[in-house]
Structures are given as C-alpha cells and as structure tokens.
C-alpha cells in the first residue's frame, strides 16, 4: 500500500509513484512554456524596434521652434485680439499662418 511516498525496489533503487511522474511532467511543461514565452517576448521586442525605426523614417520630427519662427507668426496672432468681421481678413490670416508653417 502506497500513500504517495517513494517505494523501495529490491535493487535499492527508487521507484517514482504516478504522482511524482505527473509533477515532473508539469514541471518540465512549465519550464518549456517559460522558454517559449521568453523567445516570443524577444521576437516581439525585435519587431517593435523595427517598427519604431520604420516610423521614424516615415515621419519627420517636428520642426524646432526658434525665436525667428515665433517672430514670423506673431503678427498673425496679434490679430486675435480684434474680431475678424470679413472673409478677406480670415483668408489673409489663414494664408499668413500657412506660409509660416511651410517655411522651414
């Protein structure tokens, strides 16, 4: 009769009980899953880095805001204290802002 303990064989070798075989199986299985998880994480990290590089190639970094650029746009924003009552003034304002954005 066994109660989950090791049984001694006639040759003084340990015989594992079925419960120990199951524990070893699951321990081995968990180790393999951990290794696979590590490999998957490594692949995801590599792919993430590749996509970051591609994104940086596609999109330019935002332009540096300099004092000169601020001075170009400032006249456009000086108008904001006054109401724009006609479409010509609105269009002129839009063109002023757009021209300052396009200049690099």
The string of pLDDT tens digits covering residues 26-72 is 999 999 999 999 999 999 999 999 999 998 888 877 777 888 878 87
Give the residue, 104 or 35, on which the prediction is more confident: 35
Q: Is residue 1 very low, low, confident or very high in pLDDT (cuts 50, 70, 90)?
A: very low
CB contact at 8 A, 56 and 65: no
User: First-to-last CA distance in the chain?
Assistant: 88
Report yes or no: 95 and 103 within 8 Å, Cβ to Cβ. Answer: no
Evaluated on CA atoms 58, 61, 62, 67, the torsion sign reads negative
């Amino acid at each position: 009769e066994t109660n989950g303990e090791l049984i001694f064989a006639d040759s003084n070798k340990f015989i594992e009980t079925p419960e120990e075989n199951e524990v070893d199986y699951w321990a081995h299985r968990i180790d393999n899953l951990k290794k696979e998880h590590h490999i998957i994480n490594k692949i995801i990290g590599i792919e993430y880095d590749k996509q970051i590089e591609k994104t940086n190639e596609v999109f330019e970094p935002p332009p540096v805001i300099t004092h000169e650029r601020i001075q170009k746009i400032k006249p456009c924003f000086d108008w904001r204290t006054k109401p724009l009552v006609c479409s010509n003034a609105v269009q002129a304002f839009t063109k002023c802002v757009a021209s300052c954005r396009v200049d690099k």
